[in-house]
Amino acid sequence: MKRNYTIRNAEVADARGIHKVLLVAFEEYRDYYSPEGFTDTVLSEELARIRLNEMRLYVAVNQQGKVIGTIGWQKVGSAEGHIRGMAIHPEWRGAGGPAAALLLRVEEDARKEACSILTLDTTEFQHRAHSFYERHGFRKTGKESEFFGSVVYEYAKKI
């Protein structure tokens, strides 16, 4: 059965849905995060509204209008875009689903903003995310950093 969804710009009214999809998507990893790291990752509704003012956020919504995925990005240099806060509801994960469509939307918009590279950071324990990003052309840069006590790997892709 084909699952239908739409990718669109996030709106302030989507803040609760963004929080909920981040929460359900990252719940299985809660024990790997520090409490502060988990809170920063799943965003409260208030933080989602703030992030709407700081970067571009997109949502994937099902036919009933429920947020089933989200992604954010911002231009951080003259030619670099940085992705942050990608999550897909577990029921919607899989090949050809909204995750790939959200990532494609970011790539298209970043190109329009004269970006030639996209970067993102993901925690060491997000093995499913590592595989997803690698399937979509992202490669580890070798740069590692710390995120509330967790090791974070940087990935990049020329676009």
How many Cα atoms sit within 13 Å of 123 on the Cβ side? 19
For the chain, list the domains and their CATH numbers. 5-113 (3.40.630.30)
How many Cα atoms sit within 13 Å of 37 on the Cβ side? 17
pTM: 0.92
* Averaged pLDDT score across all residues of the chain: 94
Per-residue confidence (pLDDT) for residue 3, from 0 to 100: 62
Per-residue confidence (pLDDT) for residue 59, from 0 to 100: 98
Digit-coded pLDDT (tens) for 36-87: 999 999 999 999 999 999 999 999 999 999 999 999 999 999 999 999 999 9
Q: Are 10 and 70 in contact (CB under 8 A)?
A: yes
Per-residue confidence (pLDDT) for residue 94, from 0 to 100: 78
Rounded CA separation 129/148 (Å): 19
